[in-house]
Amino acid sequence: MIPVPHRPLAKSNAHFQKAVKRLPLGVASTFRYWGDDRTIYVHHGKGGRTWDIDGNGYVDYRLGYGPAILGYADERVDAAARRGMEVGGVFALSTERELAVAERVARMVPAAELVRFSNSGTEAVMAALRLARAHTGRESYLLVEGGYHGLFDAAMWMVDMDAWDAGSNRDPEIVPYGKGIPETVRKLAHLVPMNDMQRLEDTFRKHGDSLAALLIEPIQGNCCGISAQAEYVQLARKLCDQYGVLLIIDEVKTGFRVGKGGVQGLLGVKPDLTTFAKAVANGYPISLVAGREDVMRQFRYGGASHGGTYTAHSVSLAAAEECLRILDETPALETVAAYGKRLKQGISGILNARGITHSYAGHDSMFGLFFAPNPPDNYRAWKTSDYSFYDRMAHYLHDLNIIVEPDSREPWFMCEAHGLDETCLTDTLKAVEQAVDLTLQDMEDAAQ
């Protein structure tokens, strides 16, 4: 009988009981609530690790959903941010550094002919969609099932797999992510399954003339790293050109992570617009909309509106300048991917030794783990698969001081600091081995 691990959470539990009286669910984001007795509160982070207020140290593979590409409290980026503080903060006026960062982005991403700054991934996608509508004069848009484009009404639509009869001849119903989203917005949104070429062509034939944009995450950052086939994205590019639709590639999570030129560089596809955010400044709040000059010039008086008091904040800009320099001029991204590859090999060794079938999706720098011979290639296949083993294993990993998303939706994210600290790998593999054995034990107990 393997002993069940235990970590002290008394301080986090006590803080939760106080926080829940003033904050909904005791947290600032619904997704940070992991249960009344398992929600943790961070004390600090450094490198590839996070410590909670109870003193528990974790190897962290959430990394804030990916922003800490170099690791927490990176001294190079933080020093640059402090220099940004000396500029003065918020002016609602421009500084020279905006051009310096935009020039760097344009060198790294050929499709980024012009650049505008925002504060979050959600804001960037909102701006990109507004820009596409301004350029095309159309209002409808196409989303790919399983994609995540932020918390704003236009993007918060999904297929209802729980109520769907897979044996029927009908698609699942399109429903909002939650309450408060107007049904009238639904009339503008169309959804297609990932990697279904025929459905993509059929949808364009039916609705292409009314679509302003197709939004796609070629590696789905909120659906386990499920990936689009290159041929699918290339077909999307062709159809967008044919019907006068703008192709928006959402690289909020993949941008400057899977490669200097993003996932679009790996696929050899040039979008009309791209959104970036997470890895741009190693966690400082900044995002980008970038794309074709003729489209981007719609941001003007009498054109598409765009702005924001905190846009291009001096601290975030300075952090972005240094972070992008590191990613562009040093082997940081190679270190990130190499660590992810070694981690997957180590996990596979553990699972293979126990005869557990598994596979991976995504990229070495952000991958999803599946307990199936092949990873799903669309949201419907994932949603109808059995991910209970992963969810249980993740529960134990937390108690063994490894932070991953509590369920299988979010990929594991790597950072440069992981690859520079060998103990991150050894600590993780030791915990994975124990978590797997505990999960197997639970399955055996349940079968008896």
Domains of the chain and CATH, by start: 10-72+338-425+434-447 (3.90.1150.10), 75-329 (3.40.640.10)
Q: What value does the mean pLDDT take over residues 299-320?
A: 96
Closest CA to 216 of 232, 197, 201: 232
In angstroms, the Cα distances linking 321 to 77, 79, 107, 328, 365 are 9, 12, 13, 11, 22
Q: Which pLDDT does position 299 carry in this prediction?
A: 97
- In three state form, how does the secondary structure of 278-308 look? CCCCCCCCCEEEEECHHHHCCECCCCECCCC
Q: What value does the mean pLDDT take over residues 309-329?
A: 97
Q: What is the pLDDT of residues 107-140, one digit of tens each?
A: 999 999 999 999 999 999 999 999 999 999 999 9
* Banded model confidence at residue 163, pLDDT cuts 50, 70, 90: confident
- CA 280 to chain centroid, in Å, comes to 13
Question: Of the ranges 113-117, 197-201, 373-377, which one carries the lowest mean pLDDT score?
Answer: 373-377
What does the block give as tokens for 273? 């617009």
Residue 62 · residue 410 · CB < 8 Å: yes
Euclidean distance between CA atoms 159 and 182, whole angstroms: 16
Q: What is the pLDDT of residues 215-226, one digit of tens each?
A: 999 999 999 999
The reported pTM is: 0.97
Euclidean distance between CA atoms 84 and 97, whole angstroms: 10
Q: What is the pLDDT of residues 400-421, one digit of tens each?
A: 999 999 888 889 999 999 999 9
Torsion of CA 347, 349, 350, 352, to 10 degrees: 120
**Helix ranges (DSSP H) in 298-404:** 314-329, 332-353, 379-383, 388-399
360 phi and psi angles, rounded to 5 deg: -130, 150
* Banded model confidence at residue 162, pLDDT cuts 50, 70, 90: confident
Closest CA to 308 of 86, 123, 155, 128: 123
Q: Which pLDDT does position 408 carry in this prediction?
A: 80
Euclidean distance between CA atoms 227 and 195, whole angstroms: 9
In angstroms, the Cα distances linking 278 to 66, 79, 293, 310 are 6, 19, 24, 17
Which residues lie across from 59 on neighbouring strands? Answer: 49, 402
Return the percentage of the chain with pLDDT > 70, whole number.
100
* Banded model confidence at residue 436, pLDDT cuts 50, 70, 90: very high
The yes-or-no verdict on residue 334 having pLDDT over 90 is yes
Q: What value does the mean pLDDT take over residues 359-387?
A: 93
Q: Which pLDDT does position 26 carry in this prediction?
A: 98
Q: Which pLDDT does position 212 carry in this prediction?
A: 98
Q: Which pLDDT does position 371 carry in this prediction?
A: 93
Q: What is the pLDDT of residues 228-242, one digit of tens each?
A: 999 999 999 999 999
Q: Which pLDDT does position 227 carry in this prediction?
A: 97
What's the chain's average pLDDT?
Answer: 96
Q: What is the pLDDT of residues 67-92, one digit of tens each?
A: 999 999 999 999 999 999 999 999 99
* Banded model confidence at residue 168, pLDDT cuts 50, 70, 90: confident
Cβ contacts of 271 within 8 Å, gap of 6 or more: 111, 237, 247, 248, 249, 264, 291
Q: Which pLDDT does position 406 carry in this prediction?
A: 87
